Amino acid sequence: MAKNTGNDFRRGAVTARTQFQRTDGNYQKRNERTGHFMEVKQDGKPFKGVAREPDGRDSPNS
């Protein structure tokens, strides 16, 4: 599990979450265990500490 350090960064990756870039350019998170779509980030930058699809880091959680 990722841990926030308090210094504007986190150590490790967020587990059971992946992100992908939508056609409108924004990034959206997906719960890898249930497949539910989660938050959409409106600034067009990726989420910090969340694996991008399809890199396979969290594939045992799916």
Predicted pLDDT at 60: 59
Give residue 40's domain range.
16-56
Q: What is the Cα–Cα distance from 22 to 26, expressed in whole angstroms? A: 6
Q: Say if 52 falls within a structural domain.
A: yes
pLDDT tens-digit readout, 23-47? 999 999 999 889 999 999 999 999 9
Q: Which residues pair with 29 in a beta bridge?
A: 19
Q: Say if 10 falls within a structural domain.
A: no
First to last CA, the chain: 16
Q: Say if 11 falls within a structural domain.
A: no
Predicted pLDDT at 1: 64
How many domains would you assign to the chain? Answer: 1
Q: What is the Cα–Cα distance from 46 to 62, expressed in whole angstroms? A: 21
pLDDT > 70: percent of the chain? 85
Q: Say if 1 falls within a structural domain.
A: no
Predicted pLDDT at 5: 83
